[in-house]
Structures are given as structure tokens and as C-alpha cells.
Amino acid sequence: MTEKPKKAKYKTTNWGSYNAALKARGSLLVWFDKDMDWFGKPNGRRGRNERFSDAAIQFCLSIKSLFGLALRQTTGMVQSLLKLAGLDWETPDYSTLCRRQNRLAVVIAFTGSTGTGLHLLVDSTGIKMLGEGEWKRKKHGAEYRHQWRKVHLGIDAQTLEIRAIEVTDNAVGDPTMLPELLNQIVELQVRSAVLNRFTKLGRPVTVAVA
């Protein structure tokens, strides 16, 4: 009988700095910049300018994503953060956030790769978009069929940061998505920006233990 190969063991070599990075993820100072352009600027087009900048809307949606808040609760928390920071800036109301998030050009900050070029790793995972809870389905039966979507991620092989994201029907494969990876989805974009911020703070360096 052939023996199973031993499972590889790894150890983290930068635990001190990585532990500090994990703690920093809970610091609100990481997310808030007093010098940001909170209010919108003239865009040279006819009609009324936007009251709030894209950066302000993205900040609010980042707080929403971080703490799992509804839009109304998000406005309340952002109001509190501005007050604690000593700023008298107006806060976008929930209807403004709802309207603007549908067409927001989210900025996903990333650390550029060094070397000869970008090596992009493309992978996908499925997410359930519609489905009844297990208890309800067992008691009353399913009312709808489960609907799945596929999330395609483009990740920098060197920095492990997300560079592009797209959501498609479950039947679409990764190779056909390469030309479309920059067609962004706002909600997932914001989460990707948050994940990249976490990665930038620090990530573990692991080595195999003989």
C-alpha cells in the first residue's frame, strides 16, 4: 500500500509586522483623509454639478461594506466620523448614495508591479444571487430557483492585489472574460478596494518547513 505524502507545513516569518497590519485594519484612521475632495467640482457640462465627489461616495460605500450597514445607517456613521474629525461637511443622504452607486467609477488603488510587466492571475467563483433560506424551503418548499452568478477576478501575481473584477452569468468561462475584466461592478469594486487596502497594510510571508 502506497503511503500518503506528508502534508507540507509552513511558518510565517514576519509575524510581528503582519500582526501589526491585522490590528491596523480596524483603525478608522486608515480610511479617512481630511484632505480629500469631499464636494464635487465643476465638470464643464451643462446642468447642475454633483454635490458630492466620487471620492466622498466611495468613502461612504467603503464604510457600508466594512461594517455591513444599510444605506441609512451608513449615513449616520459617516456623520459621526465627520463630527469626530472636527469637520462640518454635509453627509450624502441615503437616496444620493443609492443613486450614485449605480454609476460610480470606483478607484481601486493598487501597488504597481516591479519588473518586466504585469502577470495577471484570473480566477472565478460562484455566488448565489437568489434563493430561499434552508428553514423556509424545508417547511414551505422553494418559491424560486436558485440563481448563480460568476465573479471573475484579475489578481496581480506579485502583489496579490485585485486589479480587475467582473460579474457574469454562471455559464461564462474565464478565458472569454479577459477582454471584459475592466467592465466593473460597483459593489464588488468597493469591496475589492477595501481588500487591496488591507493587503497594502501588510501580508504574511510564509516559507515551507522541512
Per-residue pLDDT of the chain (210 residues; tens, 9 = 90+): 667 777 888 888 999 999 998 898 888 776 777 788 899 887 666 767 788 998 899 889 988 888 888 899 999 999 998 998 888 999 999 999 988 888 887 777 777 666 667 787 887 777 665 554 555 555 555 555 556 777 777 888 877 788 777 777 766 655 555 445 444 456 777 878 888 888 888 888 888 887
Identify the pLDDT of residue 150: 79
Identify the pLDDT of residue 108: 72
Residue of 116, 106, 129 whose CA lies nearest to 192: 106
Identify the pLDDT of residue 142: 55
Identify the pLDDT of residue 183: 41
Identify the pLDDT of residue 75: 94
Backbone angles phi, psi at 11, to 5 degrees: -135, 150
CA distances (Å), origin 46, targets 7, 53, 85: 65, 17, 34
- Name the E strands within 58-158: 120-130, 147-156
Sign of CA dihedral 165, 168, 174, 176: negative
